[in-house]
Chains A and B, each alone.
Chain A
Amino acid sequence: AQSVTQLDSQVPVFEEAPVELRCNYSSSVSVYLFWYVQYPNQGLQLLLKYLSGSTLVESINGFEAEFNKSQTSFHLRKPSVHISDTAEYFCAVMDTGFQKLVFGTGTRLLVSP
């Protein structure tokens, strides 16, 4: 069964600093990879996803993630964070041909001034 590991439960960072949230998944078979963000008392919003092709994917709000098949990783990065990026971030994997998302335990990003 698929599993996703997010090693950092919480990442504190100062505003305008760079950040990396780490994500590793268990299987090397063909998968789709996702990053979702959850603000307090809200549902999940898709940040970005990797389906195929270029291993670097970007979101409209400055986040990017790189698919690394050999290391089974899909780390999320942002060169300069804002206070408004404070939220919980979930990495998820989906086996191709299925519609089930398997989520990591989440990383709480805390941005302070």
Chain B
Amino acid sequence: KAGVTQTPRYLIKTRGQQVTLSCSPISGHRSVSWYQQTPGQGLQFLFEYFSETQRNKGNFPGRFSGRQFSNSRSEMNVSTLELGDSALYLCASSLMRGGGDTQYFGPGTRLTVL
């Protein structure tokens, strides 16, 4: 089975722009979660989607949003980019939610905001 794929792998944007990142989960997986990884804050949970509905949200401003499509693919959007949004954005998929189901991570999208 193919793993979790994320596109693009690298992005360079300038302050004030917006960006959309894409995640394709492992085939058959229905839950998709997003995490932000930075040297200063470490790994932080952004949000989780299951059956096209956001089920859980982390402590991030409203500039960060996401959605999930009927095929479980997910996108996250960051509007009005700030320098501090530079990070590795990781997507993870799992078969179901709850029960300690393993989250499988993609390679990430590295976003640089200039």
A46 adjacent to B42 (CB under 8 Å): no
Q: Mark A3-47, 1 if CB is under 8 A from B, else 0.
A: 000000000000000000000000000001010100001111110
A110 at the interface (CB under 8 A from B): no
Given contacts A43-B90, A90-B43, contact A99 B98 (CB under 8 A): yes
Contacts of B44 in A (CB 8 A): 103
Interface flag for A96 (CB, 8 Å): yes
Question: Are B97 and A49 neighbours in the complex by a CB distance under 8 Å?
Answer: no
Within 8 A of A (CB), among B25-39: 31, 33, 35
Once the chains are docked, how many angstroms separate the CA of A41 from the CA of B9?
10
B residues in contact with A34, CB < 8 Å: 102
- How extensive is the interface on chain A, given as a class? 20 to 34
Please name all residues of chain A whose beta carbon is closer than 8 Å to the beta carbon of B56 when the two chains form the complex. 98-100
Q: How large is the interface on B (under 10, 10 to 19, 20 to 34, 35 or more residues)?
A: 20 to 34
B42 in contact with A103 (CB, 8 Å): yes
B54 nearest CB across to chain A (Å): 11
Q: How far is the CA of A106 from the CA of B40 in the complex (A)?
A: 12
State the CA gap A36–B101 with chains docked (Å). Answer: 14
Instruction: Say yes or no: A100-B45 contact (C-beta < 8 A), given A42-B107, A43-B107.
Output: yes
Check A87 for interface membership: any CB of B closer than 8 A. no
Q: 16 new A-B pairs (CB below 8 Å) besides A99-B31, A99-B50, A101-B35?
A: A32-B100, A41-B107, A43-B4, A43-B108, A45-B105, A46-B104, A51-B100, A96-B98, A96-B99, A97-B98, A98-B56, A99-B98, A100-B45, A100-B48, A104-B42, A105-B42
